[in-house]
Structure 1
């Protein structure tokens, strides 16, 4: 690789100059482009590789180098990681992990197959997915469906320690990828659709001992905020910031899932992540004591937390009093952007609510917030006037409210864009250091939404809404786009339409390419400059996994899971046929069965 002849020296210099508080092993390994050492590529979440052997000129020559079956026929999200000569592959439930020897014809070095109670499957909201393992200091960390966090010996697969993070009998499950920072491994939890009060937890990487836990809502001591020092939109959050914004004790079953990908800034020693929807989806049941909307903090929120203590430095709630299930869990991408002539350390976040946010990651204040899908109609914009009493809040269109002044129950609210699965869901975007643009897999989907009254019972669904989904009207007729986004300007640079939602994670490389997969199963490469398609290959099943790349024996490889499922593909994955099942996705994506079928495999490409 012409640009990486001195990669060893470059990595050594970076490690020596990195802040002492970063996990040096993760920094070292993720700084070497031969590895893909972390699910997001690096702590900044860029999903960008400096490898440049595969270029816009030769990518059309890619061939399948090898394949591997996981033996599991459900949705495969996340992606493999590569450390030196070893690739670590994971599966959907039962969350099997394989270690493959890249130097010996991908021989299986070891296989870890956890023994989990299958009763966890019915309480997994949107398929039995898992978003990947993490490596640090000779250990592989796996967050299992049953919420167990397991540390495995990376050489042998032997279980070193195991802790239980939640209780599936209450609806708590594990689907997210761990993140290792310093001497801690961080994991979130799923369960808002079951009335779980969700949290982010830090465990010691050597012992599994709990270090801190931050709930999404509740007393200040539970959510780990300092009333005077934790900021929201430039002001202290104040005492009982969460309790004051819930009706009575509803916060105890408040939701706020934390299963999205996290990012970390070593210079600020801050971890960034989002929280999901409040429970239940029926907003009328969550109204304040006066029957009016109430914010329900800190659901639908982006947090910046001190990694050592867990104390929040700032919190920004993007969709107060959510009425549509617009989870705020989507990943963040850390960069330095020039906003109106001034450089900022930024966090870019493509929210489910359809707005692309560029946020000052030191203060948590939004700098840019614009629609990244023109179909979005529930709000006309985000108020960024600091002098406004509604600063930072969405400018809602009452026509698309599902609350309807407390009369929302049993009324079918039509034509809401985006649908509950958002203008983007779990599929992570990529930031290219070549172009300074973000490459975003998106959904182009709207919905009808009918709330109904629901009672809370531990371990039972606590949704309270029936949904129907369909392509956004007055558009290309498809359900997705792959876009290039200018985060400083808040605008789409180019958009490539797709027949179905683009549910896979994007990858950009120094070769000028953006890679992604489609629900029909096509793996595609496009030019970062204009979106021109340069390569496509039909894999065995629909793609909801994340593209990644690595270097072995001087040769660049690109890989992706295929295995249709996730929320969009739940109908196929679980054999559902009722159009409103799968929280409305079954009907919306019923056409998928004409293009693909179940699978669980890895396809690896290289140049001849």
Structure 2
């Protein structure tokens, strides 16, 4: 009996030891619960005391995207090699910034799917799929993307494309709670990363091109209860105003703007000053773009294209600064906001910096909103300068294209878009993924609003830069190193195209990916490329760096897409979404993907009249062109050029377009909106275009 008891006791000890070891294993649910559970307000606010982790979208509340980690330097970056890669099997754009705590990575991908990854093994721990209805792909102007996540007290938060905010148990990947943060009676989506600030999850929304009204909402991070909501543009005055700021804003609008939604969506930029308890929000363009339609007679249209300082506790506005009053060019101010300290005229200032779409780089006092400087960082012709006394741009008299077509710089893609810039406190430079590009605007006098389709109110045709103006670079893309004190460019690296990745900076390096698939490390002071690795597919998401078990890693998630990636590419093929992780001295083999067969133009006969082809062209422009490109020589991006389709696709064209048999892939169902004759005319237009492209080859 004694022997049995001893054996039983030994077994208990062994099992207890195993249980203890299991709890300690990195990547186990208990480990994840512990390390993510420790991510609280103070940990995020003092992230520079724990330099190994990347806890929030911009790494810190100020969104600097600077890491002081120093194992990888300009002296040894040439030894950087692949540590591991992970094929996510996705086929749409990846724009997400990963989060990492103690080697556990969280990443969002297409259709708002969330991945938990063990960086020690390069393996997926769990996947959470919010099951976004694929019909919402039609409502997303700029791909079915997600730019990132938030992490707080054991939870991972994601905004879903169909407008939900979801809290996920970080240890298990199971949903804790969700709230619907938008109304489905208009084409709202969410593509931006939520942030946790002051115990609240902050989330905005997208959809201004379809006619929605923007707002920002704060939810209790633990329960999902709505705490406050700040509308960015006023609604119908007859219904009253949700808060006093909307009554003030309504005085700057004319006509019946609320019927068009108004716009002003806050779809990307958020930053936080925990000392001032202020949340900084960037707001978007008007809906429609053209002020002549949405607000006839003019007006600044507050709070479009603005930077807002909102009290974290109450949701009340402290100050605002409007970068583009009465915006008519899709010059959003949702581009990344960075908070830091600068010495200006011998005085240390707590500042806010932004390079919005309109081409001017702004430095503001973040306590008061005082404008400290505003200078063009790319070529600008819609305004000659920003008046430092009034804070307003001095507009080109013809810029508003009321009675003529005008070629405006920057384009609607902006001098800088959502791709993250970074500030390096060692070099005192801001690194901006920028572009030189124009857009041809014209007043659409026959405009008819349709809330289910792009409704911008302009005749807009992209026009690439020419060399007529010596300031305009031959290359569309530019990585700019900008001095925010001297208000000037220090260096730039020209890129072949204008749709490249966001950036990361360390003490002496800048990392960026390109549309051609090159992942580069540059000298932060000179712009010289010190290391490059081609990853086979165009890159748009920004990289991050972090420490695991004493080793510094750099990770970038690669998946071509976004608004420019839908219909074009700069690589031979587009590989599945893949996470690449690099470290000094590593040399794992790059993944090998099957080569795509060469695409050929359709050779099927055109069986309809020229008049029907012309009707098909108009229908294609409204229903298909936001995603599909028919340009000669361009096989398309993540969405194919239909002139290169397989004949079987044309054989099933009515079933695809009318019946929605490709809806699971995100291809909309148009039955009830398009007749069989309409669909035949669209098909005929595609075949006629294929014939034209083939003959002009």
TM-score, normalized by length of structure 1? 0.85
Between the aligned partners of 1:377 and 1:593, the Cα distance in structure 2 is 28
Alignment of 1:288-299 (within 5 A): 288=296, 292-299=297-304
Bigger RCO (CA 8 Å, 6+ sep): 1
| Alpha-carbon offset, residue 598 of structure 1 | 5.0
Q: Choose from 458, 474, 481 the match for 2:478.
A: 481
Report the 3-state secondary structure (helix = DSSP H, G, I; strand = E; otherwise coil) of the residue aligned with 1:71: coil
Between the aligned partners of 1:461 and 1:107, the Cα distance in structure 2 is 40
| Alpha-carbon offset, residue 424 of structure 1 | 0.3
Between the aligned partners of 1:347 and 1:433, the Cα distance in structure 2 is 14
| Alpha-carbon offset, residue 183 of structure 1 | 1.6
- Cα distance change on mapping 1:116 and 1:551 into 2, 3 Å: same
C-alpha contact 1:123 1:168 (8 A) present in aligned 2: no
Report the 3-state secondary structure (helix = DSSP H, G, I; strand = E; otherwise coil) of the residue aligned with 2:251: helix
User: What do residues 186-210 of structure 1 show as CA deviations (whole Å, max 9, x unaligned)?
Assistant: 0000011111001000001111011
Larger Rg: 2
C-alpha contact 1:30 1:36 (8 A) present in aligned 2: no
Between the aligned partners of 2:398 and 2:214, the Cα distance in structure 1 is 31
C-alpha contact 1:167 1:173 (8 A) present in aligned 2: no
Between the aligned partners of 1:163 and 1:326, the Cα distance in structure 2 is 30
- Cα distance change on mapping 1:287 and 1:249 into 2, 3 Å: closer
Aligned to 1:216: 232
Report the 3-state secondary structure (helix = DSSP H, G, I; strand = E; otherwise coil) of the residue aligned with 1:240: helix
| Alpha-carbon offset, residue 450 of structure 1 | 2.9
- Cα distance change on mapping 1:287 and 1:140 into 2, 3 Å: closer
- Cα distance change on mapping 1:353 and 1:334 into 2, 3 Å: same
Aligned to 1:106: 122
Aligned to 2:574: 597
| Alpha-carbon offset, residue 45 of structure 1 | 0.6
- Cα distance change on mapping 1:367 and 1:460 into 2, 3 Å: same
| Alpha-carbon offset, residue 36 of structure 1 | 1.0
Between the aligned partners of 1:568 and 1:168, the Cα distance in structure 2 is 26
| Alpha-carbon offset, residue 461 of structure 1 | 2.6
Aligned to 2:487: 490
Q: Choose from 450, 455, 476 the match for 2:448.
A: 455
Moved more, 353-362 or 330-339: 330-339
Aligned to 1:318: 323
Report the 3-state secondary structure (helix = DSSP H, G, I; strand = E; otherwise coil) of the residue aligned with 1:492: strand
Alignment of 1:425-436 (within 5 A): 425-436=417-428
Aligned to 2:609: none
1:362 aligns with 2:367: yes
1:523 aligns with 2:498: no
Aligned to 1:118: 134
| Alpha-carbon offset, residue 250 of structure 1 | 0.9
Between the aligned partners of 1:491 and 1:550, the Cα distance in structure 2 is 31
| Alpha-carbon offset, residue 473 of structure 1 | 2.7
Between the aligned partners of 2:550 and 2:279, the Cα distance in structure 1 is 34
Q: Choose from 245, 249, 272 the match for 1:242.
A: 249
- Cα distance change on mapping 1:485 and 1:303 into 2, 3 Å: same
1:336 aligns with 2:371: no
Structure 1 gaps, min length 5: 1-21, 227-238, 386-390, 573-591
| Alpha-carbon offset, residue 501 of structure 1 | 1.4
Aligned to 1:159: 175
C-alpha contact 2:538 2:570 (8 A) present in aligned 1: no
C-alpha contact 2:162 2:189 (8 A) present in aligned 1: yes
Aligned to 2:583: 606
Alignment of 1:501-520 (within 5 A): 501-510=498-507, 512-520=508-516
Q: Name the count of aligned residue pairs.
A: 537
Aligned to 1:584: none
Report the 3-state secondary structure (helix = DSSP H, G, I; strand = E; otherwise coil) of the residue aligned with 2:78: helix
Aligned to 2:387: 383
Q: Choose from 277, 280, 285 the match for 1:277.
A: 285
Aligned-residue Cα RMSD (Å) equals 1.8
- Cα distance change on mapping 1:106 and 1:597 into 2, 3 Å: closer
Aligned to 2:412: 420
C-alpha contact 2:293 2:457 (8 A) present in aligned 1: no
Alignment of 1:384-423 (within 5 A): 384-385=388-389, 391-402=390-401, 404=402, 407=403, 411-413=404-406, 415-423=407-415
Alignment of 1:59-138 (within 5 A): 59-93=77-111, 95-103=112-120, 105-138=121-154
Report the 3-state secondary structure (helix = DSSP H, G, I; strand = E; otherwise coil) of the residue aligned with 1:530: coil
Between the aligned partners of 1:439 and 1:593, the Cα distance in structure 2 is 23
- Cα distance change on mapping 1:598 and 1:124 into 2, 3 Å: farther
Between the aligned partners of 1:382 and 1:225, the Cα distance in structure 2 is 29
C-alpha contact 1:540 1:599 (8 A) present in aligned 2: no
- Cα distance change on mapping 1:224 and 1:370 into 2, 3 Å: farther
C-alpha contact 1:243 1:251 (8 A) present in aligned 2: no
| Alpha-carbon offset, residue 472 of structure 1 | 2.7
C-alpha contact 2:536 2:571 (8 A) present in aligned 1: no
Between the aligned partners of 1:203 and 1:294, the Cα distance in structure 2 is 33
Report the 3-state secondary structure (helix = DSSP H, G, I; strand = E; otherwise coil) of the residue aligned with 2:287: coil
C-alpha contact 1:26 1:136 (8 A) present in aligned 2: no
Report the 3-state secondary structure (helix = DSSP H, G, I; strand = E; otherwise coil) of the residue aligned with 2:213: coil
C-alpha contact 2:157 2:166 (8 A) present in aligned 1: yes
Report the 3-state secondary structure (helix = DSSP H, G, I; strand = E; otherwise coil) of the residue aligned with 2:327: coil
C-alpha contact 1:480 1:498 (8 A) present in aligned 2: yes
Between the aligned partners of 1:223 and 1:30, the Cα distance in structure 2 is 39
Report the 3-state secondary structure (helix = DSSP H, G, I; strand = E; otherwise coil) of the residue aligned with 1:241: helix
User: What do residues 223-254 of structure 1 show as CA deviations (whole Å, max 9, x unaligned)?
Assistant: 7456xxxxxxxxxxxx8321111114314510
Between the aligned partners of 1:437 and 1:224, the Cα distance in structure 2 is 39
- Cα distance change on mapping 1:509 and 1:343 into 2, 3 Å: same
Higher helix share: 2
Report the 3-state secondary structure (helix = DSSP H, G, I; strand = E; otherwise coil) of the residue aligned with 1:130: coil
Between the aligned partners of 1:223 and 1:59, the Cα distance in structure 2 is 54
Report the 3-state secondary structure (helix = DSSP H, G, I; strand = E; otherwise coil) of the residue aligned with 1:245: coil
